[in-house]
Amino acid sequence: MDRIQDFIRGIPKAELHMHIEGCIEPDLMFTLAKRNGVSLPWESPEALRDAYKFDNLQSFLNLYFEGCKVLVRKQDFYDVTYAYLVRAHADNVVRAELFIGPQTFIEKGVPLSDLIEGVLGAFRDAERTLGISTGLIISTHRHRSEADALTLLEQIMPWKEHIISIGMGGAEIPHPPSKFARFFAVCRARGFRTCIHAGEEGPSDYVRQAVEDLRVDRIDHGIACLSDAALVAELVKRRIPLTVCPVSNVKLGVVPSLDVHPLRDLLDAGVVVTINSDDPPYFGAYINENFLRCQATLWLEFEQVTALARNSITASFLDEDTRRALLSRLDAYCAEF
């Protein structure tokens, strides 16, 4: 067995870009559909797996929102979240900051309290049984209005202490970050850390707007920034992390193949770049598989793998003491390996 592959599997890492409603494994999706009397447009889990072929972000989102229909009750949110955390723990994820987008579910009549309490229940149990650290990011939809995002913000306030950040995802073009400048200003004024998907399918200017107009703490994806050298310099100078999802980018046709993925260029430029899985069953790769494929294709050395894992912990929204403890754990792992 290649030593660097073992090193990747075992290194403590944080996952900062993963959507709870995007991690329903096909078997679990069918179990939940049956439990809730929801009919799915696929005959079997295998047929669903066969449908995982995407032309672009929108074609993926169509399938993703279809799959969301099986999440109805508190127990469903618990089950999908807990299953992911077990799987992530096996990849030596020590910190998981997970997105969920409540607007999808609220509009179908799912009580927000069931959604949030289901997820938080799984967080609590996984923290206790697996020792994994967790954080919840509430994701808003950019294809909806700013007023909708502000409404959601009011609705989640009772759980403010349990929410580490507010994010934004969904169809990127033609919804520039600047459309939500007021929303993000309100989030910041209320003490939330913020992040936004930008520069996935959208242009580098969307990343610039996220930094300059929204003043977010992290950019999700962000790979389009490379076409703007001044913007890259700004990301480096201000140490604004990018949560990059390499296999997702290939599966959605954002980059033609992994061997031309800009991850290595971003790393070499000094950007605080991290590796993440986005929606692992849909793209066929959890976080270690993302690391392994990048290592094999982009010829990452121990030094780069360590930098990527270190960045993930540095870029997390953890309190300073816990962050330092996890970085020490990472250093101890590297020294021992």
Point out which residues bind ligand HPA (CB under 6 A). Answer: 19, 22, 57, 169-170, 197, 200, 248, 278-279
Interaction between residue 97 and Zn ion (CB under 5 A): no
| 264-283: contacts with Zn ion (CB under 5 A) | 278
Partner from ligand HPA, Zn ion, none binding residue 22, C-beta < 5-8 Å depending on class: ligand HPA
Binding residues for substrate: 279
For 141, the 3-state DSSP assignment is strand
Q: How far is CA 217 from CA 38, 169, 209, in A?
A: 38, 15, 13
Beta strands in 147-217 (DSSP E): 163-169, 193-198
Least gap, CB of 35 to Zn ion (angstroms): 27
| 277-316: contacts with Zn ion (CB under 5 A) | 278
Please enumerate, as own/partner, the contacts of 150-154 that have beta carbons within 8 Å and a separation of 24 or more. 150/182, 150/183, 150/186, 152/102, 152/103, 152/106, 153/183, 153/186, 153/187, 153/190
For ligand HPA, give the closer residue by CB, 118 or 169.
169
For ligand HPA, give the closer residue by CB, 52 or 333.
52
Catalytic residue, candidates 200, 234, 289, 301: 200
Least gap, CB of 301 to ligand HPA (angstroms): 28
Q: 45, 29 in Cβ contact below 8 A?
A: yes
Partner from ligand HPA, Zn ion, none binding residue 76, C-beta < 5-8 Å depending on class: none
Q: 131, 86 in Cβ contact below 8 A?
A: no
Tokens 């993930």 belong to residue: 312
Least gap, CB of 60 to ligand HPA (angstroms): 7
Least gap, CB of 137 to Zn ion (angstroms): 10
For ligand HPA, give the closer residue by CB, 170 or 262.
170
200 is catalytic: yes
Residue nearest to ligand HPA according to CB distances in the complex: 169
Which residues, in sequence order, are CB contacts of 34 under 8 Å at separation 6+? none
Q: Interhelix angle for 287-298 vs 3-10, to 10°?
A: 150
For ligand HPA, give the closer residue by CB, 11 or 205.
205
What are the phi and psi torsion angles at 293 (to 5°)? -65, -40
| Catalytic (active-site) positions | 200
Contacting residues toward Zn ion, per CB under 5 A: 278
